[in-house]
Amino acid sequence: MSLNRILVPVKRVIDYAVKVRVTGGKIDTNVKHSMNPFDEIAIEEAVRMKEKKFAKEVIAMTVGPTKSQETLRTALAMGADRAIHVEVPEGQEVLPLQVAKLIRAIADKEKPEVVILGKQAIDDDSSQTGQMLAGLLNWSQAAFANKIEVEAGKLTVTREVDGGLETVSTKLPTIITTDLRLNEPRYATLPNIMKAKKKKVDKFTPKDLNVDITPSIETIKIEEPAKRSGGKKVESVDELIDKLKNEAKVL
Amino acid sequence: MLLRSACRIPKLGRFGLTPNRSISLSTQAVIPTATRYPHIIRDASFKEIEEKDIAFFRNAIKSPAGVITSEAPDELEPFNQDWMRRFKGRCSAVLRPTNSAEVSAVLKYCNENRIAVVPQGGNTGLVGGSVPVHDEIVLSLQNMNKIREFDPISGVLTCDAGCVLEVLDNHLEKQGFIMPLDLGAKGSCQIGGNVATNAGGLRLLRYGSLHGTVLSMEVVLADGRIVELGKPLRKDNTGFDLKQLFIGSEGTLGIITSVSILAPRRPKAVNVAMLGVSSFEGVQELFKYAKSELNEILSAYEFFDRTCLKLVKHHIPGIREPFETDVPFYVLIETSGSNKDHDDEKLSAFLDHVMTEGLVEDGALAQDTTQVAGMWNIRETITESLAKEGGNYKYDLSVPVPKLYSVVEEMQERLASVGLFAKDGSASGRVKHVVGFGHMGDGNLHLNLTSTGWSKDIEKAIEPFLYEVVQRHGGSISAEHGLGLMKAPYLRYSKSDDFIDLMKSMKMVFDPKGIMNPYKYFPS
């Protein structure tokens, strides 16, 4: 069996290794950004399915500001065939429901049989887009996948659930969200980075797709978690006992 | 941000691995240095320490765990042997002062009583310089670990000698600065040891050596005098620049107790690419081109050969090869700058060119910080992988760049000719691997050999042959590891007799009784 098309929505987020800082009630975004790690896994899985001839084409898409094109280039360098950029103004917040509506609009145009996306983005941790998309499209879904097998007319997906693994079979078309252990994404090699430069990126605005992205949720406050007060080294057992008694007052 | 901490990526080498994980290395018992090198006879004029000396030390060093003695042999052991398990002394006292006054009191006493002293930092050295040969006492700086001052305008950091390099780097990071040096051992090594051994490392290409970045220091001389060697100024042309003598003196002149070092701004944009090259000539061509096109943003140019990568993949869990093309040489390029778009554009043009011109066979560009760490992890775990092979002979050499790899090939030829090494890559000889890697940008080759265990005849097949090769190519027998015990006998391959005589005169000025780190550094 071979699918015609897999759509992989990806998101540009603050790099996994960067410590997020809040300054003046806002998140400091003047730091390194990369592709959401779960989306990297989604791209990798789609590209592997294509390499195994389970799929003919992999399309990467993103909703984000101009700089999100970098993220699409990474997806293309990893092996996606072409990309779609739904451009929104820098600093514009787009909530999961709006993102899901934008993905639905692209899915309506491109008619993929499978949409694979990260189970959540590591910036807002919403974990809603995939599920909402399944609802909007009225497709089957298998969230938190750690293994995907392709069979005639259906996919068998092993899911990570509390306390173990659950294997489900989903009819096509379907939505899959990726969990951590699904695969290990590849590096972008130079020949592929060069090829990626020549691949096509189509651009849309939310307006082109008839989606209103006015947020329905208002952010009231952003603050950093309370700072942990530093530990202390003690020189001897006596000192430790003394501190436990007199400073921490736990003895 | 739950997932930032829960995400897949385990702690990678660049941030986690330290070479003091000696537990995972060979389990063979360490041969005492005095047994392995019987010709290094204990200097009978040194006093063997007794109860009353210990009593003095206990009184001089106030903190409760400041003196460790043979009453606690398990605690003594890590100070007596090096992390590679090649050198082992038998000191019966380790002193851990917390300030210069205590160091002064101890040295004054030792000088008056002719007690030999080995200064010790993080004990991550590779030439046996930081552990006793016989019964010299160890003076560990590990309890002198206060950061004294940092001036964000000049970038001058002043700290105690026992501060761990990584701790300093983390401290500076919060203020947007970076330590001018970075080593694989950063999690354990101390700044005092770094300066005393003139450590090079991964940032030397960009920020220069410690001879330029160390502005001043405080030292305690053998007789107990505490002396400021200069002030933390960038310019100071008054008198001899004595601190330079202490940089790389390996504890033979006195003890460095504090350091003022110039910290550059931390780069905002860092990119890393790993490239595959088909010949060593190609590695040089690529270097030339990288210098010209990446110029001021080029911050590392590291190379390693195929066998290194093979061993890393074999020994280090979770290592992934960035690309599959089989090539004999790999190059890791790092750029650091203040403007990401600018750097990206330069690097992208550079990579385009080297790929289309065929300078590289294949390559990969890290797309996020995790991949940056993953690529560095390959380079930085070479040392650990080699150590896991069993017996590991390490040579750190300075060689003019064009001759860098031919030293490895000449060594392979030589060992093959005496029947110790199989050149077909089958690892069937007693010497299994002869590999080269290092800081190509600085002309620094790390030549490593692995075998099942240490043996005298293998060592004899390597030395002094290797040093002769290096001398013939106009190189130096030690680039960044120092002389210590291991290379002291071969100093003449790098320095003239007159030079060595001058060194000995200097030693007489600073340490006339010769109590500081004896048996090492000078050829006998």
* pLDDT tens digits, one per residue of A191-212: 999 999 999 999 999 999 999 9
Answer yes or no: do B367 and A74 touch at CB < 8 A: yes
Q: Is B134 helix (H, G, I), strand (E, B) or coil?
A: coil
State the Cα–Cα distance between residues B132 and A69, nearest whole angstrom. Answer: 59
Percent of chain B with pLDDT over 90: 80
Q: Which of B20-34, B199-213, B337-351, B394-408 has the lowest mean pLDDT?
A: B20-34
Residue range(s) occupied by CATH 3.30.465.10 in chain B: 147-262
Q: Is the dihedral of CA A91, A95, A98, A103 positive or negative?
A: positive
Phi, psi angles (nearest 5°) of residue A206: -55, -35
Residue range(s) occupied by CATH 3.30.70.2740 in chain B: 389-478
B18 contact partners, CB below 8 Å, separation of at least 6: B124, B184, B185, B186, B187, B188
Burial of B242 (C-beta count, 10 Å sphere; 0-12/13-18/19+): middle
Domain containing A241 equals 3-246
Nearest to B352 among A17, A74, A194 (CB): A194
What would the pLDDT profile of B259-292 be if each residue is shown by its tens digit?
999 999 999 899 999 999 999 999 999 999 999 9
Distances (CA, A) of A184 to A39, B4, B236: 11, 17, 54
Q: What is the CATH number of the domain that holds A41?
A: 3.40.50.620
Q: At which residue do the structure tokens 């066979």 appear? A: B361
Q: Is A240 near chain B, with CB under 8 Å?
A: no
What would the pLDDT profile of B426-479 be if each residue is shown by its tens digit?
888 899 999 999 998 889 999 999 998 778 889 899 989 999 999 999 999 999
Residue A1 pLDDT: 64
* DSSP secondary structure code for residue B516 in this structure: B
Q: For residue B27, what pLDDT band results from cuts at 50, 70 and 90?
A: low
Question: Residues B37, A67: contact at Cβ < 8 Å?
Answer: no
- Average pLDDT over chain B, rounded to whole? 91
Residue B362 pLDDT: 94
Structural domain contains residue A251? no
- Beta strand spans in B195-288 (E): 214-221, 226-229, 254-262, 269-277
Phi, psi angles (nearest 5°) of residue B34: -65, -25
Q: For residue A227, what pLDDT band results from cuts at 50, 70 and 90?
A: confident
Structural domain contains residue A183? yes
Nearest to A188 among B9, B356, B365 (CB): B365
Residue B492 has pLDDT above 60, yes or no: yes
> In the CATH scheme, what architecture does the domain B269-382 have?
2-Layer Sandwich (3.30)
What would the pLDDT profile of B341-381 be if each residue is shown by its tens digit?
899 999 999 999 999 999 999 999 999 998 999 999 999 89
Q: Which residues of A119-147 are buried (b: 16+ CB within 10 A; e: fewer)?
A: bbbbbeeebbbbbbbbebbebbbbbbbbb
Q: Which of A105-119, A147-161, B30-44, B63-77 has the highest mean pLDDT?
A: A105-119
Q: How far is CA A108 from the centre of its chain?
A: 21
Instruction: Let me know the angle formed at the C-alpha of A234 by A232 and A235, rounded to the nearest 5 degrees.
Output: 150
Set of chain A residues whose Cβ sits within 8 Å of the Cβ of B340: 32
Q: At which residue do the structure tokens 């041969």 appear? A: B31
Percent of chain B with pLDDT over 70: 95
Rounded mean pLDDT, B58-81: 92
A230 contact partners, CB below 8 Å, separation of at least 6: none
Set of chain B residues whose Cβ sits within 8 Å of the Cβ of A235: 63-65
Structure tokens at A65: 């500001």
- Beta strand spans in B306-439 (E): 329-337, 362-365, 391-398, 431-439
State the Cα–Cα distance between residues A44 and B253, nearest whole angstrom. Answer: 58
Q: Is A237 near chain B, with CB under 8 Å?
A: no
Residue B150 pLDDT: 97
ipTM above 0.90, yes or no: no
Question: Residues B506, B245: contact at Cβ < 8 Å?
Answer: yes
**Closest CA relative to residue A147, chosen from A112, A183, A184:** A183
Question: Residues B395, B417: contact at Cβ < 8 Å?
Answer: no
Query: How big is chain B by its Cα radius of gyration, in Å?
Result: 23
Residue B10 has pLDDT above 80, yes or no: no
Residue B21 has pLDDT above 60, yes or no: no
Q: Is the dihedral of CA A74, A77, A79, A83 positive or negative?
A: positive
Residue A136 has pLDDT above 90, yes or no: yes
State the Cα–Cα distance between residues B302 and B283, nearest whole angstrom. Answer: 10
Q: Which of A8-12, B13-17, B190-194 has the lowest mean pLDDT?
A: B13-17
Count of domains for chain A: 1
DSSP assignment of A137-182 equals: HT-EEEEEEEEEEEETTEEEEEEEETTEEEEEEEESSEEEEE-TTS
A24 contact partners, CB below 8 Å, separation of at least 6: none
- Minimum distance, in Å, between the CA of residue A199 and any CA atom of chain B: 16
Q: How far is CA B204 from the centre of its chain?
A: 12
Q: Is B231 helix (H, G, I), strand (E, B) or coil?
A: coil
Structural domain contains residue A142? yes
**Closest CA relative to residue B396, chosen from B487, B524, B300, B330:** B487
Q: Which residue has the higher pLDDT, B301 or B387?
A: B301
Answer yes or no: do B367 and A188 touch at CB < 8 A: yes
Which residues are B222's β-sheet partners?
A: none
Set of chain B residues whose Cβ sits within 8 Å of the Cβ of A20: 1, 4
In the chain, the amino acid numbered B367 is: Q
Phi, psi angles (nearest 5°) of residue B143: -90, 0
Q: Is B433 helix (H, G, I), strand (E, B) or coil?
A: strand
- Beta strand spans in B147-225 (E): 147-151, 156-160, 214-221
Rounded mean pLDDT, B149-175: 96
**Closest CA relative to residue B410, chosen from B394, B389, B434:** B434
Q: Which residue has the higher pLDDT, A68 or B184?
A: A68
What would the pLDDT profile of A20-68 be if each residue is shown by its tens digit?
889 888 898 888 899 999 999 999 999 999 999 999 999 999 999 999 9
Structural domain contains residue A83? yes
Question: Residues B436, B405: contact at Cβ < 8 Å?
Answer: yes
Nearest to A17 among B363, B365, B369 (CB): B369
State the Cα–Cα distance between residues B408 and A90, nearest whole angstrom. Answer: 53
Nearest to A122 among B3, B320, B355 (CB): B3
Set of chain A residues whose Cβ sits within 8 Å of the Cβ of B374: 187
Set of chain A residues whose Cβ sits within 8 Å of the Cβ of B4: 16, 20, 122
Residues of chain B whose beta carbon is less than 8 angstroms from a beta carbon of chain A are 1-4, 7-9, 63-65, 269, 273-275, 320, 322-323, 340, 351-352, 355-356, 360, 362-371, 373-374
Instruction: Let me know the angle formed at the C-alpha of A63 by A57 and A69, rounded to the nearest 5 degrees.
Output: 75
Answer yes or no: do B360 and A16 touch at CB < 8 A: no
Answer yes or no: do B362 and A194 touch at CB < 8 A: no
Q: Is the peptide bond before B78 cis (omega within 30 degrees of 0)?
A: no
In the chain, the amino acid numbered B158 is: T
Nearest to B1 among A125, A180, A191 (CB): A125
Residue A152 has pLDDT above 80, yes or no: no
State the Cα–Cα distance between residues B522 and B484, nearest whole angstrom. Answer: 9
- Minimum distance, in Å, between the CA of residue A118 and any CA atom of chain B: 12
The CATH code belonging to domain B389-478 is: 3.30.70.2740
Count Cβ–Cβ pairs < 8 Å, chain A vs chain B.
86
Residue B11 has pLDDT above 50, yes or no: no
Residue range(s) occupied by CATH 3.30.43.10 in chain B: 30-140
Residue B6 pLDDT: 40
Residue range(s) occupied by CATH 3.30.70.2190 in chain B: 269-382
Q: For residue B22, what pLDDT band results from cuts at 50, 70 and 90?
A: very low
Q: For residue B490, what pLDDT band results from cuts at 50, 70 and 90?
A: very high
Structure tokens at B62: 């106030």
Question: Per CATH, is B147-262 categorized as 2.40.37.10?
Answer: no
- Measured from the Cβ of residue B54, the count of other Cβ atoms closer than 10 Å reads 18
**Closest CA relative to residue B448, chosen from B358, B368, B387:** B387
Question: Residues B446, B395: contact at Cβ < 8 Å?
Answer: yes
State the Cα–Cα distance between residues A193 and A208, nearest whole angstrom. Answer: 29
Structure tokens at A171: 């009819």
The CATH code belonging to domain B30-140 is: 3.30.43.10
**Closest CA relative to residue B330, chosen from B400, B378, B396:** B378
Residue B2 pLDDT: 39
